[in-house]
C-alpha cells in the first residue's frame, strides 16, 4: 500500500553495554562456536522497559520535540516485564507524554516493533495524531545450551512519525504485510524460554514470509532490488538475511549497514528497527531504503522509505548505533547467567 503524508521525524536506539562472545557460550556446551561473533546483554538493572525508554528519549532528541507532543505510544516486545500491565504507559510517563496519549503493547514475536511502526504511520497519515512513537525492544532469552542462547540479545529502537515533512529524516513510502498461521516458534505463558521448530523456522517460516513481503512490496511499487540503496532484513543470525538478500537479488553492499546481528545478536523486536537506524546513521538524502521484518507465528512487514534532507542535521543529536556498539564490556558466561536471571537464587 502506498503511504501518504507520513514521515520519520526522529529515531533512536539503545543497546546495553555488556557483550558475551558466542565462543564463551559455546565452550560450556561442547561446541566450537556459535552462529554470530557476540551479542548484547542487558545489565542487572536493564529490561525491555528501560531500553525502550532510552531509545525513545534518543528519538525525541532527534525529533526536537517535547514528549508532551507525542499522542501515540506503541511498544512492541516479546520480553515485556509484566504479562498484564502495559509497558507503553511507563514509556509514555517517562517521556512526559501522559495523559493525552493512546498507548498499548504489541506482541508478534520479532516483528512487534515494525507492526508498531506501521500502526503509528497509519495514525499520522490518517491525521488521527500529530506525533506517534513506535518502539521495538527486547531482552530475549534462550534456554541454556539451546541454539537460541547464542543469538538472543538485548536492544531496541524507537521511531517518531508525523505528517509534517519539514526537517523530516525520511518519508514512509509504502507498506506491506505478509501473514499466515505458521507455528515455528512460541512461548506459553509462565514459561521462561521459548520453544522452536529448529529447521521448520527456516524455509516455511522466515524465508517464505520475508521473501513474499519483499517481492510483494516491490511489485506494488513497480520496483526491483536495484532501486534501493539499502535494505535491512530481520536477522535471527547472520546467514538467514544474507541468504534471503542473495535470493532476492540484493548485494552485500545493500545489506551492509542494516546487518548487525553478527556484532550484537538478534534483538528480536528491536532487530529490524535497529538495523534501519544504522542505515539512517549513514544514508544520504534521496536514498531509498527497504526494511523487511519477520515475526514467528508468522508474518513479515515490509516498509519502504526515502531518506530526506533532515537526516544530516538530525543524526548527530543522539548517539549513533555504532557508538552504542563500540561502548562494550565483555562478560563471561557466569556473569551472563547472573545478569539474565539464569542462576537459581533460591528465592
Residue 345 binding another protein, by CB under 8 A: yes
Q: Which one of 90-98, 100-108, 256-264, 287-295 is the stretch in contact with another protein (CB under 8 A)? A: 90-98
Q: Between 276 and 315, how does the x/- string for binding to another protein read (CB under 8 A)?
A: ----------------------------------------
Of the pair 1, 343, the CB lying nearest another protein is at 343
Of the pair 324, 336, the CB lying nearest another protein is at 324
Question: Which of 1, 323, 330, 334 forms a contact with another protein (CB under 8 A)?
Answer: 323
Q: Which one of 155-163, 170-178, 267-275, 316-324 is the stretch in contact with another protein (CB under 8 A)? A: 316-324
Direct distance between the N- and C-terminal alpha carbons of the chain, in angstroms, rounded to an integer = 51
Question: Which of 73, 281, 320, 340 forms a contact with another protein (CB under 8 A)?
Answer: 320
Options 78, 115, 149, 174, the catalytic residue = 78
Q: Give min distance, CB of 130 to another protein, in A.
A: 22
**DSSP states of 63-97 as a string?**
HT--GGG--EEEEE-SS-S-SSS-SHHHHHHHTT-
Helices (H), 64-205: 88-94, 112-125
Q: Nearest to residue 281, comparing CAs of 125, 83, 58, 116? A: 58
As a whole number of angstroms, the distance between CA 198 and CA 143 comes to 13
Residues 167 to 226 in contact with another protein, rule: CB under 8 A = none
Q: Which one of 69-77, 117-125, 276-284, 326-334 is the stretch in contact with another protein (CB under 8 A)? A: 326-334
Options 46, 71, 110, 287, the catalytic residue = 110
Site size for another protein, by CB under 8 A?
A: 26
Q: Which one of 92-100, 198-206, 213-221, 306-314 is the stretch in contact with another protein (CB under 8 A)? A: 92-100
Alpha-carbon torsion 157, 160, 166, 170, what sign? positive
Q: Which one of 206-214, 271-279, 294-302, 317-325 is the stretch in contact with another protein (CB under 8 A)? A: 317-325
Alpha-carbon torsion 168, 133, 300, 280, what sign? positive
Q: Give min distance, CB of 60 to another protein, in A.
A: 12
Question: Which of 17, 143, 187, 315 forms a contact with another protein (CB under 8 A)?
Answer: 17
Q: Return the C-alpha torsion angle 179, 36, 159, 45, nearest 10.
A: 120
Phi-psi domain of 308 (left: phi exceeds 0; alpha: psi -120 through 50; beta: other): beta
Question: Which of 324, 331, 336, 340 forms a contact with another protein (CB under 8 A)?
Answer: 324
As a whole number of angstroms, the distance between CA 96 and CA 86 comes to 16
Question: Which of 326, 330, 332, 334 forms a contact with another protein (CB under 8 A)?
Answer: 326
CB-based contacts of 137, cutoff 8 Å, min separation 6 = 14, 48, 51, 52, 55, 75, 76, 77, 113, 155, 156, 157, 158, 267, 269, 270
Q: Are strands 72-76 and 170-182 parallel, antiparallel or unpaired?
A: unpaired
209 is annotated as an active-site residue: no
C-alpha cell at 95: 517521556
Residue 267 binding another protein, by CB under 8 A: no
Residues 48 to 67 in contact with another protein, rule: CB under 8 A = 49-50, 53-54
As a whole number of angstroms, the distance between CA 272 and CA 111 comes to 8
Residues 96 to 115 in contact with another protein, rule: CB under 8 A = 96
Options 149, 196, 234, 287, the catalytic residue = 234
Q: Give min distance, CB of 100 to another protein, in A.
A: 16
Residues 18 to 47 in contact with another protein, rule: CB under 8 A = 43-47
As a whole number of angstroms, the distance between CA 186 and CA 193 comes to 9
Classify burial at 140, counting beta carbons within 10 Å of its beta carbon; exposed 0-12, middle 13-18, buried 19 or more.
buried
Residue 1 binding another protein, by CB under 8 A: no
Cα 187–Cα 277–Cα 341 angle in degrees, nearest 5 = 35
Cα 232–Cα 180–Cα 80 angle in degrees, nearest 5 = 65
As annotated, the active-site residues are 78, 110, 234
Judged by the rule CB under 8 A, the positions of this chain that interact with another protein are 17, 43-47, 49-50, 53-54, 81-82, 90, 93-94, 96, 319-320, 322-324, 326-327, 329, 345, 347
Amino acid at each position: 500500500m502506498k503511504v501518504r503524508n507520513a514521515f520519520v521525524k526522529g529515531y533512536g536506539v539503545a543497546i546495553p553495554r555488556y557483550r558475551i562472545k558466542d565462543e564463551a557460550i559455546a565452550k560450556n556446551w561442547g561446541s566450537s562456536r556459535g552462529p554470530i561473533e557476540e551479542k548484547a546483554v542487558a545489565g542487572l538493572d536493564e529490561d525491555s522497559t528501560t531500553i525502550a525508554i532510552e531509545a525513545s528519549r534518543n528519538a525525541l532528541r532527534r525529533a526536537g520535540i517535547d514528549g508532551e507532543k507525542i499522542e501515540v505510544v506503541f511498544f512492541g516486545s516479546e520480553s515485556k516485564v509484566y504479562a498484564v500491565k502495559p509497558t507503553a504507559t511507563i514509556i509514555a510517563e517517562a517521556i512526559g507524554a501522559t495523559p493525552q496519549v493512546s498507548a498499548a503493547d504489541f506482541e508478534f514475536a520479532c516483528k512487534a516493533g515494525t507492526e508498531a511502526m506501521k500502526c503509528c504511520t497509519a495514525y499520522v497519515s490518517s491525521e488521527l495524531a500529530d506525533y506517534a512513537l513506535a518502539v521495538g525492544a527486547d531482552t530475549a532469552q534462550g534456554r541454556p545450551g539451546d541454539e537460541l542462547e547464542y543469538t538472543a540479545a538485548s536492544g531496541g529502537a524507537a521511531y517518531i512519525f508525523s505528517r509534517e515533512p519539514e526537517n523530516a529524516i525520511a518519508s514512509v513510502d509504502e507498506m506491506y504485510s505478509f501473514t499466515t498461521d505458521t507455528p515455528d516458534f512460541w512461548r506459553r505463558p509462565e514459561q521462561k524460554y521459548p520453544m522452536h521448530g529448529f529447521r521448520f523456522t527456516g524455509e516455511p517460516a522466515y524465508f517464505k514470509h520475508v521473501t513474499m513481503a519483499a517481492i510483494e512490496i516491490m511489485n506494488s511499487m513497480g520496483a526491483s532490488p536495484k532501486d534501493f540503496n539499502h535494505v535491512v532484513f530481520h536477522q535471527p543470525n547472520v546467514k538467514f538475511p544474507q541468504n534471503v538478500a542473495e535470493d532476492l537479488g540484493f548485494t552485500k553492499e545493500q545489506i551492509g549497514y542494516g546487518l548487525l546481528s553478527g556484532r550484537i545478536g538478534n534483538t528480536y523486536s528491536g532487530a529490524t528497527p535497529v538495523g534501519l537506524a544504522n542505515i539512517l546513521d549513514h544514508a544520504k538524502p534521496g536514498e531509498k531504503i527497504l526494511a523487511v521484518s519477520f515475526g514467528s507465528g508468522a508474518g513479515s512487514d515490509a516498509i519502504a522509505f526515502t531518506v530526506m534532507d533532515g537526516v544530516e542535521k538530525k543524526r548527530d543529536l543522539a548517539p549513533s548505533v555504532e557508538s552504542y556498539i563500540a561502548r562494550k564490556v565483555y562478560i563471561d558466561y557466569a556473569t551472563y547467567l547472573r545478569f539474565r536471571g539464569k542462576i537459581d537464587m533460591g528465592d
